[in-house]
């Protein structure tokens, strides 16, 4: 039917399809979302020494960030559906850019914790509205691939943040506060570009009436089995990922004896390798028209790689294990999971469904940094944290077995 058309054929700007512009700007958004997060991680040792922190306290810097980030996901998604996605996304993006700079100004550990909470709150407005907007605009037959391109911004940002932070502090000798100032300016610029260049789809009277007729309660999302098992999978996937993002530089420096100037480059390998992995698996997923077979293949490989990171005594073999995790782990798997949500959620509830998706996933990121820090304080090693992450992936794999996919259908255009 004509009213089900996802992207108007006339949506072109300067000869460029409008959804390409949307994908590019949201890619940039994720670059700076992750860069602003990960500039903290290579300099954790410096922060620990300045404030005299335990590993558990150090983990709190990331946990409080993700606490506000996770718990505002659902409200941000619901507000995006009600008020307009850009009206929620852009002010929050500017807010987190400002508080990234404020983080570098804080003179006490308590004040730094507060700044991280505020930064997380600002970032919380991005995920649900962003994927809601992109899922509306990307043609269904390119949805996974388009999401994968957007998702690559996470990998670029993760690498950029770690490399810039390591370079400025360890190679150039700047204070650990400088990376926060450097990253804040382009963040605000990206927010303004999104406001002026991303076109939000307006609902006409007929479309709005249809949406109002179909609109169910938020609880309807929680009654959808396919959504629930996908939410479980993202929780298990993100626990290991954020343990890695938060603690891998610290682990490389303190347990593997790698020089501080090199840890950013090594840790960023996960991100770089995930880019071709994400694009490859997204393309395969779109061609298959199914998500479950790929998830069932990728997760066991990610489990083995997490265990191998600890087990491999040779540093070069450990680096290989890190690359394998990047190729098959969270960043590469995300586009497939995002497409699974888009396949199963009502279009009028996209922001809410994606907000819930990210809330559940980021709930694990609240726990992972502090649990890993506590494990390190008790055992003197992060090894048990990697094993716990692998065990959670096993749980997620069991859950995804209950995903029921319909037979792939040809996508019709009107």
pLDDT digits (tens, 9 = 90+) for 76-95: 888 888 888 899 999 999 99
3-state secondary structure the chain: CHHHCCCCCCCEECCEEHHHHHHHHHHHHHHHHHHHHHCCHHHHHHHHHHHCCCHHHHHHHHHHHHHHHHHCHHHHHHHHHHHCHHHHHHHHHHHHHHHHHHHCCCCCHHHHHHHHHHHHHHHCCCHHHHHHHHHHHCCHHHHHHHHHHHHHHHHHHHHHHHHHHHHHHHHCCCCCCHHHHHHHHHHHHHHHHHHHHCCCCCCCHHHHHHHHHHCCCCHHHHCCHHHHHHHHHHHHHHHHHHHHHHHHHHHHHHCCCCCHHHHHHHHCHHHHHHHHHHHHHHHHHHHHCCCHHHHHHHHHHHHHHHHHHHHCCCHHHHHHHHHHHHHHCHHHHHHHHHHHHHHHCCHHHHHHHHHHHHHHHHHHHHHHHHHHHHHHHHHCCCHHHHHHHHHHHHHHHHHHCCCCCCCCCCCCCC
**Inter-residue contact 104 to 181 (CB < 8 Å):** yes
Predicted local confidence at residue 353, as pLDDT: 83
Is the pLDDT score of 205 beyond 50? no
Question: Tokens 């990171």 appear where?
Answer: 309
| Those residues with Cβ within 8 angstroms of residue 161's Cβ, 6 or more apart along the chain or in another chain | 34, 35, 36, 37, 38, 39, 41, 179, 183
Across the range 254-283, mean pLDDT stands at 83
| Those residues with Cβ within 8 angstroms of residue 269's Cβ, 6 or more apart along the chain or in another chain | 319, 322, 323, 326
Neighbours of 276 (CB within 10 A): 14
Give dist(CA 224, CA 217) in Å, integer.
12
Cα separations (Å) of 121 from 20, 26, 54, 65, 98? 28, 19, 25, 8, 12
Cα separations (Å) of 195 from 58, 96, 157, 292, 412? 35, 15, 21, 35, 31
Q: How confident is the model at residue 366 (pLDDT cuts 50, 70, 90)?
A: confident
| Those residues with Cβ within 8 angstroms of residue 116's Cβ, 6 or more apart along the chain or in another chain | 61, 62, 64, 65, 103
Q: Which range is least confidently modeled, 161-165, 246-250, 308-312, 393-397? A: 246-250
Across the range 286-294, mean pLDDT stands at 86
Q: How confident is the model at residue 319 (pLDDT cuts 50, 70, 90)?
A: very high
End-to-end CA distance of the chain: 6
For residue 230, what are its two tokens?
A: 């996908």
Predicted local confidence at residue 1, as pLDDT: 37
List beta partners, residue 17. 12
Predicted local confidence at residue 287, as pLDDT: 84
For residue 343, what are its two tokens?
A: 């396949």
Q: How confident is the model at residue 202 (pLDDT cuts 50, 70, 90)?
A: low
For residue 412, what are its two tokens?
A: 């019709």
List beta partners, residue 16. 13
Give dist(CA 306, CA 384) in Å, integer.
11
Q: What is the set of domains in the chain, with CATH numbers?
A: 17-199+214-400 (1.20.1250.20)
Across the range 57-81, mean pLDDT stands at 86
List beta partners, residue 12. 17
Predicted local confidence at residue 180, as pLDDT: 95
For residue 359, what are its two tokens?
A: 């809330």
Predicted local confidence at residue 13, as pLDDT: 63
Percent of the chain, pLDDT > 90?
A: 39
Predicted local confidence at residue 349, as pLDDT: 78
Express each pLDDT in 137-183 by its tens digit: 888 777 778 877 888 888 889 889 988 998 999 889 899 999 999 99
Give dist(CA 316, CA 302) in Å, integer.
18
């Amino acid at each position: 039917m004509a009213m089900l058309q996802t992207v108007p054929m006339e949506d072109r700007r300067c000869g460029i399809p409008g959804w390409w512009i949307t994908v590019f700007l949201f890619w940039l958004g994720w670059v700076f979302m992750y860069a602003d997060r990960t500039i903290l991680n290579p300099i954790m040792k410096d922060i620990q020494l300045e404030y005299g922190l335990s590993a558990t306290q150090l983990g709190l810097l990331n946990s409080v960030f993700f606490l506000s980030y996770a718990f505002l996901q659902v409200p941000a998604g619901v507000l995006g559906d009600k008020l307009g996605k850009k009206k929620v996304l852009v002010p929050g993006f500017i807010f987190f850019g400002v508080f990234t700079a404020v983080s570098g100004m804080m003179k006490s550990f308590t004040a730094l914790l507060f700044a991280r909470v505020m930064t997380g709150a600002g970032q919380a407005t991005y995920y649900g509205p962003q994927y809601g907007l992109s899922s509306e605009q990307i043609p269904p037959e390119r949805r996974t691939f388009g999401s994968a391109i957007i998702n690559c911004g996470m990998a670029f940002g993760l690498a950029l943040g770690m490399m810039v932070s390591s370079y400025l502090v360890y190679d150039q000798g700047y204070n650990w506060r400088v990376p926060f100032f450097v990253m804040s300016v382009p963040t605000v610029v990206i927010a303004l570009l999104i406001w002026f260049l991303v076109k939000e789809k307006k609902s006409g009277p007929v479309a709005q009436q249809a949406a109002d007729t179909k609109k169910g309660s938020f609880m309807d999302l929680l009654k959808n089995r396919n959504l629930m098992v996908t939410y479980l999978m993202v929780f298990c996937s993100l626990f290991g990922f954020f343990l890695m993002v938060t603690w891998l530089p610290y682990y490389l420096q303190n347990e593997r004896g790698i020089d501080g100037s090199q840890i950013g480059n090594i840790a960023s390998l996960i991100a770089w390798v995930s880019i071709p992995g994400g694009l490859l698996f997204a393309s395969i997923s779109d061609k298959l028209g199914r998500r479950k077979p790929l998830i069932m293949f990728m997760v066991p490989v990610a489990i083995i790689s997490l265990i191998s990171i600890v087990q491999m005594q040779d540093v070069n073999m450990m680096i290989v294990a890190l690359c394998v995790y990047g190729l098959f782990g969270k960043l590469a798997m995300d586009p497939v999971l995002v497409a699974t949500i888009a396949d199963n959620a009502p279009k009028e509830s996209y922001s809410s469904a994606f907000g819930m998706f990210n809330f559940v996933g980021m709930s694990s990121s609240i726990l992972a940094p502090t649990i890993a820090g506590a494990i390190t304080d008790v055992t003197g090693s992060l090894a048990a944290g990697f094993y716990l992450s692998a065990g959670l992936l096993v749980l997620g794999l069991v859950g995804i077995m209950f995903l029921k996919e319909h037979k792939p259908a040809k996508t019709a255009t009107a």
